[in-house]
């Protein structure tokens, strides 16, 4: 298992990329399959990275619903045809 810092860095990098890829707003995001794919991929990597964090690190953030993030990751990976981009935008 990698050190928590590796996964925390992945999470931070993905969050920054998501912000970058959505900075031009909803209309641009919805018009660009490339931006949509980039955001979805970064959400997937972010969610996957949370699954590798130690329980000690997760315990420091009790307000985060860690199992829900894992469930979201499963939707991104396995139910990709059912992804609602409007819900992702929110």
d(CA 82, CA 28): 21
d(CA 50, CA 67): 10
Q: Is the pLDDT of residue 89 over 80?
A: yes
Q: Is the pLDDT of residue 1 over 70?
A: no
Which residues span the domain enclosing 29? 4-89
Q: Is the pLDDT of residue 14 over 70?
A: yes
17 is catalytic: no
- Written as one string, the DSSP assignment of 65-83 is -HHHHHHHHHHHHH-GGG-
- The structural domain count of the chain equals 1
**Marked catalytic residue, from 10, 41, 56, 78:** 78
How confident is the model at residue 27, as a pLDDT? 97
Q: What confidence tens digit (pLDDT) does each residue in 32-64 have? A: 999 999 999 999 999 999 999 999 999 999 999
- pTM value? 0.90
78 is catalytic: yes
């Amino acid at each position: 298992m990698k050190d928590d810092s590796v996964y925390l860095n992945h999470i931070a990098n993905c969050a920054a990329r998501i912000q970058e890829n959505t900075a031009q707003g909803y209309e641009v995001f919805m018009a660009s399959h490339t931006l949509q794919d980039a955001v979805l991929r970064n959400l997937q990597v972010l969610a996957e990275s949370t699954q590798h964090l130690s329980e000690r690190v997760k315990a420091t953030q009790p307000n985060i619903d860690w199992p829900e993030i894992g469930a979201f990751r499963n939707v991104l990976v396995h139910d990709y045809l059912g992804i609602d981009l409007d819900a992702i935008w929110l």
